[in-house]
Amino acid sequence: MKKLKRYSTILMLLILGIQTHAQDKLFLKNNTIIICKSLILLKNSIIYKDTLKNSDTQNILKKDALMAEFKNGEIYIFGSANSFLMGGETTANSIHSDDKENRIMEWEEKEKQFPNGILGFYPVQIFAGRFTVSYEKLTSNKTLGILFPVSLTYDMLANSTPSSSSSSTTSSTSTPEKKGVGIISGVDVNYYYSVKPALKYFFGPKVRYGTAMTLGGIEYMSFQIQNGLMKSRGKLFTHTFSVGFGFFKLSQKYANYPGYEANQVYPTGSLTWRLGFRL
């Protein structure tokens, strides 16, 4: 009798859901019907988005659901020992077309609980005359990042005691060598897209302005479009690698800098590795 009553309830719910045939539908044990834009079955839970505009992803336990009906006609009935699939020859493991997307959504739900700030360090740049620290703020469910870097620049190749002959020879043809340190800062806007659990592809503009002491103390502005990957290592650590291409333009102060003109733009590129700590 219990089984007969249960399947009678299922038949009634199916009849009530005919009017919304073009959408996924989730039938709960409290006789609620949820019309879904997307519906994904996990091991112990169900992830879905309803049809309301700008709705967030929802998560409920499987034990609270009675049945799921997909817009392709497949029906999955939940139960401890009587779960089965109707309307096709596919198995329960193939309800979602790609298990990778399933795992990605699980990761994104977990990632929402992580801190939204990333403090970054750039170890390789130390050997290129820069000590760089950055802070990135993640927003929009961690799909958009605004990054603010600050670099202390220095010339690791400068001659501490140039000879008098070389200084007299070059003084008339080049800008006097600058000593000390410089500052470079700017902003990145990164758009993130999950390609695997804990792995995101990103792209966006990268702007810098400041003084590069390794290049003789030139002051410049650069603009690049960068592409990269960010790998999360647990809850607190990230590794980021990116490649950027764009152009740079010298400050008007360097109109006579040998080999360059201040009114002209020049191609440039960058390889960047960042070690990040979530804050």
Burial class (CB in 10 A: 0-12, 13-18, 19+), 255: exposed
pLDDT tens for 237-261 read 999 999 999 998 887 666 555 666 6
Does 143 have pLDDT greater than 70? yes
Residues 130, 273: Cα–Cα separation, whole Å: 13
Does 138 have pLDDT greater than 60? yes
pLDDT tens for 182-199 read 999 999 999 999 988 899
Question: Where do you find CATH 2.40.160.20 in the chain?
Answer: 117-159+177-278
Give the 3-state DSSP-derived string for 217-245, with helices as H, strands as E and coil as C.
Answer: CEEEEEEEEEEEEEEEECCCEEEEEEEEE
pLDDT tens for 43-78 read 778 888 877 777 777 888 888 888 888 877 788 887
Q: Is 0.85 topped by the overall pTM?
A: no
Q: Tell the CATH topology of 117-159+177-278.
A: Porin (2.40.160)
Average pLDDT for 89-111: 63
Q: HSE of 176 in the Cβ direction (CA atoms, 13 Å)?
A: 2
pLDDT of residue 22: 61
Does 228 have pLDDT greater than 70? yes
Which residue carries 């008339």 as its tokens? 172
Residues 63, 44: Cα–Cα separation, whole Å: 8
